[in-house]
Amino acid sequence: MVELQYFGNSFFTIKDNKALVVIDPIFGFSDKQMKKKVVAAKMSDMKGAAVILLTNELPEHFDKDLVERIALEENATVLAHDSILKQLSLPRSQKIPIQANSEFCIKGFKIKTTTAHFPKSFYPLGYIVECSGKRVYHAGVTALLDTFSSIKVDVALLPISDRSMDIIDAVRATKLMKPKTVIPMQYDIYDSGKNDPKELKRRIEESVLATETVILSPGKKMKF
């Protein structure tokens, strides 16, 4: 059994056998365009963190102080591009520099890095996390990519926002991947109101896809 928990924006944890993979942890950041200033998480939710994955260096995805705190308190290993790792005051043993299309087996998790396209970021990434025979794809911040057709997973976490894929492209991405479940993310931070996750769910349900759309509010969990 794998437990997925959503905390807002692109912040998720993936739990397997009491160990956690933490992706893009933030507790809050400053941006006048933001709809929400604080993400629904606390340090107790990070208990058992073994691996921290960072998709890009922008403040709504990378909280330097929080990453350092989780890593030090839980002895977690941070995987990110070297340009991000250089900013972290952590022992070398807790930092693994990565590039796209690499694979790692670490602390019981199999992790594959994927390409993402986000011009505002120096080196954006996505991740496929495999544990207990289940595969979860976190797309990071990205536009629609042809390479989605090669991604075969149980659960796809896809952005729908003005900064990445809109709802139409997220449906196209789902058609390319055909996951069992798709979970929208990144729609709940900026206040444009253009990307309603219920509209994504409606469009997928009206398509020929067998994919289920699950909308998680911050703090909610899904087991599969």
In CATH, 3-216 is 3.60.15.10:
yes
Do 132 and 113 contact (CB within 8 A), yes or no? Answer: no
Task: Give the per-residue pLDDT at 193.
Answer: 66
Q: Model-level pTM greater than 0.85?
A: yes
Query: DSSP character for 154?
Result: S
Do 36 and 189 contact (CB within 8 A), yes or no? Answer: yes
Determine if residue 142 is left, alpha or beta; phi over 0 gives left, psi from -120 to 50 gives alpha, anything else beta. beta
Do 184 and 170 contact (CB within 8 A), yes or no? Answer: yes
Task: Give the per-residue pLDDT at 163.
Answer: 83
User: How does pLDDT run across 151-186, given as a tens digit for each residue?
Assistant: 999 999 999 998 899 999 999 999 999 999 999 999
pLDDT band, residue 28 (cuts 50/70/90): low
* In the chain, domain spans: 3-216
Give me the count of residues in the chain: 224
